[in-house]
Amino acid sequence: MHPASHTAKGPLPAHVGIIMDGNGRWAQQRNQRRSQGHLEGLKTAKRIVQAAGGLGIAYLTLYVFSTENWKRTAGEVGFIMGLVKQYLAAEMDFFRKSRIRIRHAGDPAGLPREIAGEIQRVCEDTQDFTGLQVILALNYGGRDAIIRAIRRLIAQGPQEGPLTETEFRRCLDNPDIPDPDLIIRTAGEWRTSNFLLWEGAYAEYYVSDKLWPDWTAEDLREALARYQTRERRYGGAGT
């Protein structure tokens, strides 16, 4: 018997976050435009959403566009926004059939109005679906999310007693969603790039050298298997 089969396997993560990186490099390697990389990246996102649902993951947060990604050319930004809109419109049947609930993390106020409107519509149309929840982090920044939570707190007026983590958490975009258990980054860079700063305090990290357009369901399974071998101690002394 393989030695690995004697090792106790931990549970699957309930919430997986993915920093989908490497679209530009994928295109560059092929002497293609960056937009071609984003197009392929969208195909991967569809594959991974399908795979995550099949594997029984409850929440999948996809980092689609950061608050810093506005630094890119208007052409690239416009292309990505167009892809998001197209994805939401084209996949509605798939969401319905697979009972997928779409949610948004990030500041809708900073998005082009038609994109914000489309997201809101799809979030509403899928809100009763009880399958996989896919959270699209779009115009998302961890620092921005914290600042917006603080603004909500201030708007609530003075509270009794010192602020607690539980109360603060309630002011974040999606307070009902549990913290990510596993954060995956593709394309080999070891940084958070402003992703889930508050919620990811005790997330396990997994970095894959493969570029996002090359990612497959098998890569997701591998990441989950590696996660299952980790011992999460949360600051305790461990077992």
Q: Which residues bind ligand IPE (CB under 6 A)?
A: 19-25, 63-66, 69, 80, 187, 189, 191, 193
* Beta carbon nearer to ligand IPE, 23 or 61: 23
For 213, residues 6+ apart whose C-beta sits below 8 A from its C-beta are 22, 23, 26, 37, 40, 41, 43, 44
Q: How many residues does the chain have?
A: 239
Q: Could you confirm whether 21 is annotated as catalytic?
A: yes
Report what 95 binds from Mg ion, ligand IPE, none; CB cut-off 5-8 Å by kind.
none
Element at 228 (helix H, strand E): helix 217-228
Minimum CB distance to ligand IPE smaller for 59 or for 63? 63
* Contact by Cβ (8 Å): 102, 126: yes
User: Which one of ligand IPE, Mg ion, none interacts with residue 96, CB within 5 to 8 A by kind?
Assistant: none
Q: At what angle do helices 74-90 and 113-125 cross, to 10 degrees?
A: 20
If we measure between CA atoms, which residue out of 121, 138, 162 comes closest to residue 70?
A: 138
Please give the residue ranges that form the binding site for Mg ion (CB under 5 A).
21
Smallest distance from Mg ion to CB 63, Å: 10
| Cβ atoms 81, 118 nearer than 8 A | no
Catalytic residue among 69, 125, 174, 179: 69
Contacts 24+ apart (CB under 8 A), 37-41: 37/213, 38/76, 38/79, 38/80, 38/83, 39/83, 40/213, 41/212, 41/213
The answer to whether the CB of 23 falls within 8 A of the CB of 38 is yes
Given 21, 107, 144, 173, the catalytic residue: 21
Residue closer to ligand IPE (CB basis): 33 or 230: 33
**For strand 133-140 and strand 59-66, is the pairing parallel, antiparallel, or unpaired?**
parallel
Nearest residue to Mg ion on Cβ basis = 21
Residue nearest ligand IPE, CB atom distance: 24
CB of 194 to Mg ion, least distance (A): 12
CB nearer to Mg ion: pick between 21 and 181? 21
The nearest distance, CB 63 to ligand IPE, in angstroms, is: 4
Is 31 an annotated catalytic residue? no
Q: Which does 209 bind (CB under 5 to 8 A by kind): ligand IPE, Mg ion, none?
A: none
Closest CA to 175 of 148, 193, 213: 148
Please, what is the minimum distance in Å from the beta carbon of residue 238 to ligand IPE?
Answer: 32
Nearer to ligand IPE by Cβ, of 23 and 126: the residue is 23
Active site amino acids: 21, 69
